[in-house]
Amino acid sequence: MSAPSLIELFCIFFCIGLFTIGGGLVAITSMQQIVVGRGWITSEKFFNMVAISESTPGPIGVNMATYIGYEFHGTLGGMIATLGEILPSYICIVLIAKFFARFQEKPIVKAAFKTLRPATSGIVLVACAQVFALALLNLNTIGGIESAASFKQALSAVASLFKWKSLAFYVLALAALFKTRLHPIAVVVAGAAFGVLFL
Protein backbone atom coordinates (compact mmCIF):
# COMPACT_ATOMS: atom_id res chain seq x y z
CA MET A 1 0.00 0.00 0.00
CA SER A 2 1.33 3.46 -0.96
CA ALA A 3 2.41 5.93 1.71
CA PRO A 4 0.10 8.84 2.61
CA SER A 5 0.51 12.19 0.88
CA LEU A 6 1.76 15.22 2.80
CA ILE A 7 -1.79 16.59 3.07
CA GLU A 8 -3.09 13.23 4.31
CA LEU A 9 -0.19 13.00 6.74
CA PHE A 10 -1.02 16.44 8.16
CA CYS A 11 -4.72 15.58 8.48
CA ILE A 12 -4.00 12.24 10.18
CA PHE A 13 -1.73 13.77 12.81
CA PHE A 14 -3.97 16.80 13.28
CA CYS A 15 -6.83 14.41 14.15
CA ILE A 16 -4.57 12.38 16.44
CA GLY A 17 -3.41 15.55 18.18
CA LEU A 18 -6.98 16.84 18.43
CA PHE A 19 -8.48 13.71 20.02
CA THR A 20 -5.52 12.54 22.11
CA ILE A 21 -6.44 13.12 25.76
CA GLY A 22 -3.87 11.88 28.24
CA GLY A 23 -0.52 12.44 26.58
CA GLY A 24 1.83 10.75 24.15
CA LEU A 25 1.20 7.15 25.19
CA VAL A 26 -2.44 7.56 24.26
CA ALA A 27 -1.39 9.00 20.89
CA ILE A 28 0.73 5.90 20.24
CA THR A 29 -2.35 3.68 20.28
CA SER A 30 -4.06 5.91 17.70
CA MET A 31 -0.94 6.05 15.54
CA GLN A 32 -0.61 2.29 15.63
CA GLN A 33 -4.20 1.73 14.59
CA ILE A 34 -3.69 3.99 11.57
CA VAL A 35 -0.16 3.39 10.28
CA VAL A 36 0.07 -0.31 11.19
CA GLY A 37 -3.61 -1.03 10.55
CA ARG A 38 -3.33 0.38 7.02
CA GLY A 39 -0.15 -1.57 6.32
CA TRP A 40 2.11 1.47 5.96
CA ILE A 41 4.52 0.28 8.69
CA THR A 42 5.00 -3.18 10.18
CA SER A 43 4.13 -3.73 13.84
CA GLU A 44 7.74 -4.54 14.74
CA LYS A 45 9.07 -1.43 13.02
CA PHE A 46 6.42 0.70 14.71
CA PHE A 47 7.40 -0.44 18.20
CA ASN A 48 11.08 0.05 17.34
CA MET A 49 10.08 3.63 16.57
CA VAL A 50 8.33 3.79 19.96
CA ALA A 51 11.52 2.61 21.70
CA ILE A 52 13.64 5.22 19.92
CA SER A 53 11.09 8.00 20.49
CA GLU A 54 10.85 7.12 24.18
CA SER A 55 14.64 7.18 24.46
CA THR A 56 15.14 10.59 22.83
CA PRO A 57 14.45 14.00 24.40
CA GLY A 58 10.98 15.50 24.04
CA PRO A 59 7.37 14.31 24.26
CA ILE A 60 6.97 10.81 22.87
CA GLY A 61 3.88 11.70 20.82
CA VAL A 62 5.68 14.52 19.03
CA ASN A 63 8.80 12.38 18.55
CA MET A 64 6.69 9.62 17.01
CA ALA A 65 4.96 12.06 14.66
CA THR A 66 8.32 13.40 13.50
CA TYR A 67 9.74 9.91 13.05
CA ILE A 68 6.74 8.57 11.11
CA GLY A 69 6.54 11.67 8.93
CA TYR A 70 10.26 11.38 8.17
CA GLU A 71 9.82 7.71 7.32
CA PHE A 72 7.29 8.60 4.62
CA HIS A 73 8.53 11.93 3.20
CA GLY A 74 11.92 12.75 4.70
CA THR A 75 12.56 16.02 6.54
CA LEU A 76 9.50 17.78 5.07
CA GLY A 77 7.27 14.87 6.11
CA GLY A 78 8.68 15.01 9.62
CA MET A 79 7.93 18.73 9.84
CA ILE A 80 4.39 18.37 8.44
CA ALA A 81 3.49 15.47 10.75
CA THR A 82 4.92 17.30 13.76
CA LEU A 83 2.98 20.46 12.90
CA GLY A 84 -0.22 18.43 12.58
CA GLU A 85 0.42 16.76 15.94
CA ILE A 86 1.12 19.93 17.95
CA LEU A 87 -1.23 22.42 16.32
CA PRO A 88 -4.47 21.16 18.01
CA SER A 89 -2.77 21.23 21.42
CA TYR A 90 -1.61 24.78 20.84
CA ILE A 91 -5.09 25.92 19.80
CA CYS A 92 -6.76 24.08 22.70
CA ILE A 93 -4.38 25.37 25.37
CA VAL A 94 -4.85 28.96 24.19
CA LEU A 95 -8.64 28.55 24.41
CA ILE A 96 -8.45 26.75 27.76
CA ALA A 97 -6.17 29.40 29.24
CA LYS A 98 -8.70 32.01 28.21
CA PHE A 99 -11.92 30.32 29.34
CA PHE A 100 -11.21 27.39 31.72
CA ALA A 101 -11.08 29.47 34.90
CA ARG A 102 -14.71 30.43 34.34
CA PHE A 103 -15.96 26.88 33.82
CA GLN A 104 -13.73 24.57 35.91
CA GLU A 105 -16.18 24.49 38.83
CA LYS A 106 -19.21 23.70 36.67
CA PRO A 107 -20.70 20.25 37.47
CA ILE A 108 -20.65 19.18 33.81
CA VAL A 109 -16.93 19.98 33.51
CA LYS A 110 -16.11 18.09 36.71
CA ALA A 111 -18.16 15.11 35.53
CA ALA A 112 -16.35 15.09 32.18
CA PHE A 113 -12.94 14.96 33.86
CA LYS A 114 -14.07 12.17 36.20
CA THR A 115 -14.76 9.92 33.21
CA LEU A 116 -11.82 11.09 31.12
CA ARG A 117 -9.28 9.95 33.72
CA PRO A 118 -10.17 6.24 33.76
CA ALA A 119 -10.73 6.18 29.99
CA THR A 120 -7.28 7.67 29.42
CA SER A 121 -5.71 5.21 31.85
CA GLY A 122 -7.24 2.33 29.88
CA ILE A 123 -5.85 3.61 26.59
CA VAL A 124 -2.39 4.00 28.13
CA LEU A 125 -2.58 0.42 29.45
CA VAL A 126 -3.41 -0.85 25.95
CA ALA A 127 -0.29 0.82 24.56
CA CYS A 128 1.82 -0.57 27.42
CA ALA A 129 0.45 -4.09 26.92
CA GLN A 130 1.23 -3.99 23.20
CA VAL A 131 4.81 -2.85 23.78
CA PHE A 132 5.20 -5.48 26.53
CA ALA A 133 3.95 -8.28 24.27
CA LEU A 134 6.21 -7.32 21.36
CA ALA A 135 9.29 -6.82 23.53
CA LEU A 136 9.02 -9.84 25.83
CA LEU A 137 6.91 -12.49 24.06
CA ASN A 138 7.35 -14.72 21.02
CA LEU A 139 3.75 -14.46 19.87
CA ASN A 140 4.28 -16.87 16.97
CA THR A 141 4.62 -19.73 19.47
CA ILE A 142 1.03 -19.44 20.72
CA GLY A 143 -0.10 -21.88 18.03
CA GLY A 144 2.31 -24.44 19.46
CA ILE A 145 0.62 -24.19 22.85
CA GLU A 146 -2.82 -24.75 21.33
CA SER A 147 -1.70 -27.72 19.25
CA ALA A 148 0.41 -29.43 21.93
CA ALA A 149 -0.41 -33.12 22.18
CA SER A 150 1.00 -33.67 25.67
CA PHE A 151 1.68 -31.78 28.87
CA LYS A 152 5.42 -31.87 28.16
CA GLN A 153 4.93 -30.33 24.72
CA ALA A 154 2.63 -27.67 26.16
CA LEU A 155 5.18 -26.85 28.87
CA SER A 156 7.92 -26.54 26.26
CA ALA A 157 5.70 -24.30 24.12
CA VAL A 158 4.92 -22.06 27.10
CA ALA A 159 8.63 -21.81 27.91
CA SER A 160 9.37 -20.76 24.32
CA LEU A 161 6.65 -18.09 24.52
CA PHE A 162 8.92 -15.77 26.54
CA LYS A 163 12.03 -13.92 25.42
CA TRP A 164 13.86 -14.89 28.57
CA LYS A 165 16.88 -12.59 28.22
CA SER A 166 14.64 -9.57 27.61
CA LEU A 167 12.34 -10.60 30.46
CA ALA A 168 15.30 -10.92 32.85
CA PHE A 169 16.53 -7.45 31.92
CA TYR A 170 13.00 -6.07 32.30
CA VAL A 171 12.73 -7.44 35.86
CA LEU A 172 16.18 -6.12 36.77
CA ALA A 173 15.36 -2.70 35.31
CA LEU A 174 12.11 -2.52 37.30
CA ALA A 175 13.91 -3.51 40.49
CA ALA A 176 16.60 -0.90 39.87
CA LEU A 177 14.04 1.85 39.25
CA PHE A 178 11.89 1.03 42.29
CA LYS A 179 14.57 0.00 44.80
CA THR A 180 17.44 2.37 43.97
CA ARG A 181 17.92 5.97 42.93
CA LEU A 182 19.24 4.96 39.52
CA HIS A 183 18.25 7.55 36.93
CA PRO A 184 15.90 6.31 34.15
CA ILE A 185 18.39 7.53 31.52
CA ALA A 186 20.91 5.05 32.90
CA VAL A 187 18.35 2.26 32.47
CA VAL A 188 17.67 3.34 28.86
CA VAL A 189 21.41 3.35 28.07
CA ALA A 190 21.83 -0.02 29.78
CA GLY A 191 18.91 -1.39 27.75
CA ALA A 192 20.48 -0.26 24.49
CA ALA A 193 23.82 -1.81 25.48
CA PHE A 194 22.10 -5.03 26.57
CA GLY A 195 20.31 -5.32 23.23
CA VAL A 196 23.53 -4.80 21.24
CA LEU A 197 25.54 -7.27 23.31
CA PHE A 198 23.07 -10.04 24.08
CA LEU A 199 20.11 -9.99 21.65
Q: What is the pLDDT of residues 5-48, one digit of tens each?
A: 999 999 999 999 998 876 777 788 889 889 999 999 988 899 88
pLDDT computed for residue 165 by the predictor = 92
Name the pLDDT band for 198 (thresholds 50, 70, 90): confident
pLDDT computed for residue 128 by the predictor = 82
The DSSP string of the chain is -PPPPHHHHHHHHHHHHHH--S-HHHHHHHHIIIIITTTSS-HHHHHHHHHHHHHSSS-HHHHHHHHHHHHHHHHHHHHHHHHHHHHHHHHHHHHHHHHHHHHTTSHHHHHHHHHHHHHHHHHHHHHHHHHHHHHHB-GGGHHHHHT-SSHHHHHHHHHHHB-HHHHHHHHHHHHHHHHS---HHHHHHHHHHHHHHH-
pLDDT computed for residue 190 by the predictor = 93
Q: What is the pLDDT of residues 96-155, one digit of tens each?
A: 888 877 777 888 878 887 888 888 888 778 878 877 887 888 877 666 666 666 767 777
Average pLDDT, stretch 154-174? 87
57-71, 103-117, 173-187: least confident range: 103-117
Average pLDDT, stretch 167-178? 93
pTM score, two decimals?
A: 0.66
pLDDT computed for residue 177 by the predictor = 92
The pLDDT of residue 158 is above 80: no
pLDDT computed for residue 104 by the predictor = 76
pLDDT computed for residue 66 by the predictor = 95
pLDDT computed for residue 67 by the predictor = 95
pLDDT computed for residue 148 by the predictor = 62
Average pLDDT, stretch 53-59? 84
